[in-house]
Amino acid sequence: MADKAITYGASEGFGAFTGWESKGSNDNVTSKRAVAMDDKGDEVASQLHDEKTDTTENLECNDDTNSIPAAVGALENARILTGIFIQTSAEGYAQMTLTGHNHTDNAHAASPALRTATHGITLASCFGATDFLAGTAGTDASPISGSIDIKCDHVDQVDKDGNHLVGENHNFTMEAKTTWAGVPTTPADTGWDVTVKTTTDENTGFQKTEVTGVKKLVAS
């Protein structure tokens, strides 16, 4: 017998992005289930409704010339992109996780377009740590890991049959975290609200500084 026709390798759940290769994606299809009970508390009827597909994709960067999805909340490969998470480290290639969804009934589409927000984040180097907070290292510090979480909230409304009718994006934000060896001269660039700055030391290691910052994004 011949091999079965089963797909091998990773798919691009949100489409292709320059300089990135998909490491795998997950499409999770769920439906809500309503039940009716009898006078003894036993189920007598059920109804599935509001079918939805949630998608997560993991990617790895391999080129300094690369592209990140430009806007959160946008429609990417027939999915509303509600999350872009990028993780970088001193000894590895950048990793990106994309999250989003769509619906079986009255699916989100290009028209009418939902609200989006551009973030302006770029990745200059595919290898090594990136300080997305754009702080100033000074002479005695270096970032050793950095991450950024670009996201928006999303609300949906069902119709009279409990199926998706309409949805919208709101509350667009970015949260970045950087770990430094040493203490940076400036922890973050103007425009970031620094919510955490922690400096630690230990008897068998070097001084570290962890900085977390939040910035709102403007919707369009």
* Residue 37, domain member (yes or no): yes
In the block, tokens 């990028």 appear at 86
pLDDT score, position 1: 84
* Residue 57, domain member (yes or no): yes
CA atoms of 195 and 106, how far apart (whole Å): 40
AA letter at 150:
I
* Residue 14, domain member (yes or no): no
User: Tens digits of per-residue pLDDT, 61-115?
Assistant: 999 999 999 999 999 999 999 999 999 999 999 999 999 999 999 999 999 999 9
> C-alpha angle 18/93/213, rounded to 5°?
90
pLDDT score, position 202: 94
Which pair of tokens denotes residue 162? Answer: 């409990």
CA atoms of 88 and 134, how far apart (whole Å): 14
Q: How many other C-beta atoms are found inside a 10 Å radius of the C-beta of residue 122? A: 10
> C-alpha angle 143/121/142, rounded to 5°?
10
State the total domains in the chain.
1
Share of the chain above pLDDT 70, in %: 100
CA atoms of 81 and 98, how far apart (whole Å): 7
State the pTM of this model: 0.96
In the predicted model, is pLDDT for residue 140 greater than 90?
A: yes
Q: How many other C-beta atoms are found inside a 10 Å radius of the C-beta of residue 204? A: 4
User: Tens digits of per-residue pLDDT, 30-63?
Assistant: 999 999 999 999 999 999 999 999 999 999 999 9
pLDDT score, position 37: 98
> C-alpha angle 86/25/80, rounded to 5°?
70
* Residue 11, domain member (yes or no): no
Residue 196 structural domain: 20-216
User: Tens digits of per-residue pLDDT, 164-205?
Assistant: 999 999 999 999 999 999 999 999 999 999 999 999 999 999
* Residue 38, domain member (yes or no): yes
pLDDT score, position 73: 98
CA atoms of 140 and 181, how far apart (whole Å): 8
* Residue 13, domain member (yes or no): no
pLDDT score, position 57: 98
Query: Binning pLDDT at 50, 70 and 90, where does residue 117 land?
Result: very high
What mean pLDDT value characterizes the chain?
Answer: 97
* Residue 77, domain member (yes or no): yes
* Residue 93, domain member (yes or no): yes
